[in-house]
Chain A
Amino acid sequence: MALRLAYALSGCLERRISCRMTMCGHTVTPLPQWIHLTAPVGPQILVTRRGMAARSSHTMNAQKVYPKDSLDRLGDDLCQHLLSFLSLEDRFRCECVSKQWQRVIYKTQHELIVTEDFVKLRAIEKSFSTILKKCQNITKIAIISPFYVINNSNPMLDSIARHCHHLTDICFNFANAIRFQTYDRFFAKFAKQLKSIEWTAIHKDDARDKPIVNNIKCCDNLTQFNGYYYYSYFHTSDYSEKMCLSYMKSIDVEIDRRCNEKCIDILMTDYLFRPFITRYKMYSIETNWYQLRETQETVTRCQRKI
């Protein structure tokens, strides 16, 4: 029995080399079929492989023996997993450690968060496209830097549209002076795959914000939407009909005094007709106490009605 197991196991070792695939940085081992393997994979294979662990296909033939205390002995898959805990900065600093590292180091970067420090220190506008080009598997981008640090956000959105392929979450808190064409290009690519959008404009310019509202209506798979300064759209007649994003799970809306009773009414009814919504947050940032109270009263009136 022990002997059969040993054979089965060395078979297992072989299979693991060939069948391993990596998804999202986690090593996925296929169901072990090795237990049925009968062909004895002799111990000589293990002998030739002494001192080196499994490497991926293109280095498999190399008969090189790596020293035991060198990280080089570990294969691409394992190396990729080990390096998946590095920060974005460390990844860029370590890219030139070796060719193996260059191959695997960016594969597990799934997030890009652009903060104010990041922008100030690193001339983000220049390096942004480099980052996106190298990190092909980014699914979430959050640009939370205030608008005055990024002078022109059009090129940033454009490079996201050009270089990202797996984007599902976007948060842009700088959405100022973005051209219609830029929005259209962005949403033409991502409308079907976006799951979460957080969007803040600094100005309250209806004409300029209209394009993004129209574009959001095309995002069929959206489950989360945090929008600010949306009062003026949420009571337009087309909102409740066209923006029927059936999978929506969470919506944040900011309201202010310009938002009248009818508008809140629509928001509330809308909530009732969307079975998936588990979180619906409405809030106000009015600084004027009187106006705040007025808004509150409107909301309370509507709540009572429902």
Chain B
Amino acid sequence: MNGEYSLDTTEGMAASGDPPTNNAVDDYDAEEALERQREEENKIKIKLKSFEGGVYECGLTAAKMSVMVANMLDALQETDLTKIATREPIPLQNDAVTNKALEKIVEWVDHHWDDPPIDPDFDDEKERRNEELSHWDKQFIDIADQGELFDIIAAANFMDIKGLVEVGAKHICNKIKGKSCTEVREMLKIHNDFTPEEEAAIHKENEWIYAKD
């Protein structure tokens, strides 16, 4: 109820169009302009090429969510953005960027392109880290084939898409939650490189955690 109410008031303020100070007007306009620019830019499509050779199209703003792609586009020093669209596809040279993975990544950035940029402010960061995944993200990342899931995470890490890596991380941590060592190893197919003695020693050190069970 509360949320709805406050939403109404902000809408009312925006409609009446007279925020209290000049600064606010400037900030508001600047934000609006930036928003419009991002929207325009996203209509320009660029091509990304997977390690396996598949080419996928993606909005410019969306593609720039990958810090790696953004840096690369900056390095081209192209002032006429529309020309970028006619360029050859950008190759992503990491074997994790398979056709399937890139297809999924493009799907993710296309859905998330208008997310607010990640705030480096630590408090916000902490809040964001504790946030549950959205319904859309949950469905997106719930992938039966684990190899594909790891491909996406590794590829997102390679392309430096912070938000997507985080979605993957949260998904995996949700799966690990409450499971025992053996169960986790089985699930994620991790090779146990401890000797039985080493493992017993760790168990002993961490005894307190099993006290409840």
Residues of A within 8 A of B (CB): 1-2, 5-6, 8-10, 12-13, 16, 27, 29, 32, 35, 46, 49-51, 53, 67-74, 78, 81-87, 89-90, 92-99, 101-102, 121-124, 126-127, 130
Contacts and interface: CB of A to CB of B under 8 A. Distances in A.
Given A13-B93, A69-B147, A82-B172, A90 B178 contact: yes
Main secondary structure of the interface of B (DSSP, over half): helix
28 contacts: A2-B88, A6-B91, A16-B158, A29-B160, A46-B93, A46-B95, A53-B94, A53-B96, A68-B150, A69-B146, A70-B190, A78-B154, A78-B157, A82-B172, A85-B173, A89-B209, A92-B208, A93-B209, A96-B199, A98-B190, A98-B193, A122-B212, A123-B208, A124-B208, A126-B208, A127-B207, A127-B208, A130-B208
B41 interface: no
Contact of A85 (B92, B169, B179, B180): B169
A219 B150 CA distance: 46
Contacts of B93: 6, 9-10, 13, 46
Nearest to A52: B95
Interface residues of B, number: 59
Contacts, number: 150
Contacts of A27: 157
A71 B72 contact: no
B90 interface: yes
B204 to A, nearest CB: 10
Contacts of B190: 70-72, 97-98, 101
Interface in B181-213: 181, 184-185, 188-194, 198-199, 202-203, 205-212
Contacts of A10: 93
Contacts of B87: 1
B129 interface: yes
A9 B72 CA distance: 9
B191 A70 contact: yes
Contacts of B75: 32, 35
B95 A122 contact: no
A201 B88 CA distance: 68
Given A69-B146, A82-B172, 5 more contacts: A1-B88, A35-B75, A70-B191, A93-B180, A98-B194
Nearest to B75: A35
Contacts of B207: 127
Contacts of A96: 181, 194, 198-199, 202-203, 206
B112 to A, nearest CB: 19
A121 B181 contact: no
Contacts of B96: 53
B177 A5 contact: no
A148 to B, nearest CB: 20
Contacts of B191: 70, 72, 98
Nearest to B122: A24
B44 interface: no
Given A5-B90, A90-B178, A69 B194 contact: no
B184 to A, nearest CB: 5
A82 B146 contact: no
Nearest to B207: A127
Contact of A69 (B129, B173, B189): B189
Given A53-B154, A69-B189, A70-B189, A95 B206 contact: yes
Contacts of B147: 67-69
A74 B179 CA distance: 21
B38 interface: no
Contacts of B71: 32, 35
Nearest to B51: A46
B121 to A, nearest CB: 13
Contacts of A16: 158
Interface in B138-185: 145-147, 150-151, 153-154, 157-158, 160, 165, 168-170, 172-173, 176-181, 184-185
B68 interface: yes
A116 to B, nearest CB: 14
B85 interface: no
Contacts of A32: 68, 71, 75
A127 B173 CA distance: 24
